[in-house]
Structure 1
Amino acid sequence: MIAALATALAAERLFLSGSLHQEGETIYLVSPDEPGFWAHFTASPEFRDGAAHPLDRWSERVIAPIAAAFGGHGLFPFGTPRTSFIPLILASGQAFTSPIRFPVHARMGLLASYRGAIAVPGLHDLLPPATSPCIGCAAPCRVACPIEAFSDAGYDVRSCYAYLDTPEAVDCTSGGCLARRACPASQGYGRLPEQTAWHMRQSLK
């Protein structure tokens, strides 16, 4: 199951980023396979048609038929019905709670992105469990934010977004969250700066 599913996803520059058993199903999380995903997505009709939510629309169009081909169905962190992904991510064997409390993925680091999941009936093989990239890490993510939006109290969303609306935040708005980018695992993931900047602009709309 894993090998065949990975092959089908690779054709769309996606990879299996986690797996778990839940209520008689096997759930496989799906993420962008870098480098290469951004060029693939930006060539799609969804990116070019000017309509809202291009990446969400692309994800559903691509992932749903792959899920159906394996006798399953797609789950998505957007739209209706919307699936809560954080519990799935943290139970997937590949992601962990980071020092700034955001999920950190063994391969993607703090730049982890989940485009959807594929739920297949039955208990199939899971990916081998990964080791947290935070073990032995100096945690540069904790000190990278220019306004210290991350603390033991959690993520100060209000202060973060207020800062992003100022000229001083150009490094964040043009290249993405500095805390996420500071993660060594993120830096080894291969995601292009222009993709991270695009995600930041989308979040500010």
Structure 2
Amino acid sequence: MTYAEIERLGEVNNLLILGGIHPENKEHLPEWCETLVLLGPTSDFWADFSTSPEWLDQRPDPMDRWSERVLNAMARDLKGEAIFPFGGPPFKPFFSWALETGQTWQSPVNLLVHSTQGLMVSYRGALALRERLDLPPAGERPCDTCPQPCLTACIPRALTADRYDVPGCKAHISGEKGRENKQLGCSVRRACPVSQSYARMSEQNAYHMRIFLGEDR
């Protein structure tokens, strides 16, 4: 098994490897885990997901259920184990794992920023593998050479370098002035130049905003 083979298996399901680690601390992992790879949606993910059984059956939590079905199947093929960022508490330390990959960093607004997905990065799960795979070298944090428009993109100043005012954020999105955010996604995340090159479908952003607000999908 190689990193490239897992990449190809993920792409069949519109998932990308967003980084990998050789975990030293296995508190939240099987003892046999030698490589952990983190996976998230491709830019074309929504087109396939929106025709999946989980989306069409109108039951709650379609994306989590899709993730469990697809990643568990991948794990069986690879004789590993699927790990998920949902289903807690307690929750798995995906934030820490992402930082360890050298492909994701803490942004100026403290959200994770990925080398190719920017502030739109999201993780559907991870695969714990028995083999110690060769991993890509660490990348360079894009924020270090960026004018950092994320710092001033939030109109109600709910998300800044100093704070994340969740009630204030929800209040803005729910109102008339936040309509664009609700339809297209968080203005802070969209302001990131790397996010703009990722071009995630606006329907997916709108879905995540509805879930954030506690609305029906």
So what's the TM-score if we normalise by structure 2? 0.89
**Residues 1:63 and 2:71 are matched in the alignment:** yes
Partner of 1:130 in structure 2?
139
- The alignment status of 1:153 with 2:162, answered yes or no, reads yes
Could you tell me which amino acid in structure 1 is paired with residue 16 of structure 2? F
Q: Please list, as runs of the form range in 1=range in 2, the aligned pairs for 1:70-85 lying within 5 A after superposition.
A: 70-79=78-87, 82-85=91-94
CA deviation map 1:18-54 (0-9, x unaligned): 10011452100001111x2111111101011101110
Amino acid at match of 1:50: Q
Identity of aligned residues (%): 40
Structure 2: gaps of 5 or more residues: 25-32
TM-fit CA distance, 1:191 = 0.6
Amino acid at match of 2:92: T
- 1:26 matched to 2:35? The reply is yes
Higher strand share: 1
Secondary structure in structure 2 of the residue aligned to 1:124: coil
Change (3 A) 1:144 1:152: closer
After TM superposition, which residue ranges in structure 1, 4 or more long, deviate above 4 angstroms?
none
Distance 1:158 1:89 in 2: 26
Count of matched residue pairs:
204
Match of 1:47 in 2: 55
Query: 1:203 & 1:168 partners in 2: Cα distance?
Result: 17
CA contact (8 A) 2:17 2:37 kept: yes
The corresponding residue for 1:115 is 124
Pair 1:180-2:189 in alignment:
yes
Q: Which amino acid aligns with 1:5?
A: I
Structure 1: distance between partners of 2:199 and 2:170: 26
1:162-194 Cα distance to aligned partner (Å, 9 max, x none): 222322211111111000000000000021112
> Which piece of structure 1 moves more, 115-124 or 44-53?
115-124
2:79 corresponds to which letter in structure 1? G
Stretches of structure 1 that go unaligned for 5 or more consecutive residues are none
Q: What is the CA deviation profile of residues 32-89 of structure 1, one whole-angstrom value per residue up to 9, with x for unaligned ones?
A: 111x211111110101110111011001100111112112100100125742211111
